[in-house]
Amino acid sequence: MRALLVVNPRATTTSTRTADVLVQALSHELDLEVTFTTHRGHARELGHWALDNTLDAVIALGGDGVVNEVLNGILRDGPSSAVPALGVIPGGSANVFSRALDIPTDPVEATGVVLRAAREGRYRLIGLGHVRTDNDARWFTVNAGLGLDAQIIEAMETQRRSGHRATPARYLTTTVREYFARRGSPTMTLSRPGVPDTEHVVLTIVQNTSPWTYFGTVPIDPCPHASFETGLDVFAVRRMDPFTTARAARRMLTRSGGLSRSGIIVWHDQHSFGIRARTPVPVQVDGEALSPTRAAQFASFPEALRVMGS
């Protein structure tokens, strides 16, 4: 099997020594190319290279961000049988995608899953989400968001560029600060075919699988029925008053309750829908901030990607 290993050397839990061990193990059984990313977007470029050179698989060693870049590289021309399979060895802080696939969090054990998949032909077909904004178009494996969700991601990225680690405590502090700083008038409208528009939404979370994310080891899951085998799930909040926020937080933490026809909206198994904003709002995809947008069109693509492992 011809494969490319894409390593993010700046991933939260990846060390050079660990990467060296994994490279040796993978090279023993695979015809392996290895590249360490050097800049944002590099993993996407490497995905293009793997597609153009008809490799059998691309293995991402890092967090959800490098996985998303690789994904958008190999899906440059859309889903097809020519797209390399995707393997994942977790090395980030959350690793939501690999956890959703039940891949071990230990990178050595995860490497064993990849090698067994290569030896025995163990692959899983999963559905993906796709979003088109004013400035970009992206595939995503786990989630996307507009409003406060994306604002928190953007604030965290700014702190990481300043040398701070993405710890659960820092996420909590950033969330509280952005919550009080960004509360304001509703700015978004949700629309889907055959249904009247839903106006006055301040936060929109889109899930392609469950959970949405993790706080340390605790799953945060506003849409617990989301999965790779169904369409997209949507969780939207009309206002950020304390009562609605408390109900939303309860649902995210307990996976039940918290619904209010006037305050919280939940859609399950959606094939397509759109979001319009009065003014540009922040956007995130798989934990990576994109440029603010006034419009976003979402779509679900079933069985769009082969992933290594089962």
Q: 133 vs 39, 178, 208, 250, CA distance in Å? A: 23, 23, 18, 30
**Would you place residue 179 in the very low, low, confident or very high pLDDT band (cuts 50, 70, 90)?**
low
Instruction: Report the amino acid identity of residue 304.
Output: A
pLDDT at residue number 258: 45
| CATH 2.60.200.40-classified regions of the chain | 132-302
**CA separation for the pair 113, 93 (Å, rounded):** 20
pLDDT at residue number 244: 73
**CA separation for the pair 266, 245 (Å, rounded):** 15
Mean pLDDT, rounded, for 80-108: 93
Q: What percent of the chain has pLDDT over 90?
A: 63
Instruction: Indicate the CATH number for domain 2-121.
Output: 3.40.50.10330
Q: Provide the mean pLDDT of the chain.
A: 87
Mean pLDDT, rounded, for 82-110: 93
Mean pLDDT, rounded, for 64-93: 95
Task: Tell the burial category of 161 from Cβ atoms under 10 Å away from its Cβ (0-12, 13-18, 19+).
Answer: exposed
Cα angle, residue 268 at apex, residues 266 and 270 outer, rounded to 5°: 115
Q: Is the pLDDT of residue 98 over 50?
A: yes
Q: Is the pLDDT of residue 76 over 70?
A: yes
| CATH 3.40.50.10330-classified regions of the chain | 2-121
pLDDT at residue number 218: 85
**Would you place residue 166 in the very low, low, confident or very high pLDDT band (cuts 50, 70, 90)?**
low
Q: Is the pLDDT of residue 275 over 60?
A: yes
- pLDDT tens for each residue of 288-297: 889 999 999 9
- pLDDT tens for each residue of 214-264: 887 888 899 999 999 999 999 998 877 666 777 777 777 776 654 545 688
pLDDT at residue number 249: 72
- pLDDT tens for each residue of 40-50: 999 999 999 99
pLDDT at residue number 164: 64
pTM as predicted: 0.89
Q: Is the pLDDT of residue 24 over 50?
A: yes
Q: 94 vs 244, 248, 299, CA distance in Å? A: 26, 21, 25
Interacting residues of 291 by C-beta distance below 8 A, sequence separation 6+: 133, 134, 135, 136, 283
Instruction: Indicate the CATH number for domain 132-302.
Output: 2.60.200.40
**CA separation for the pair 265, 102 (Å, rounded):** 29
- Greatest mean pLDDT range, 13-27, 159-173, 209-223: 209-223
pLDDT at residue number 294: 95
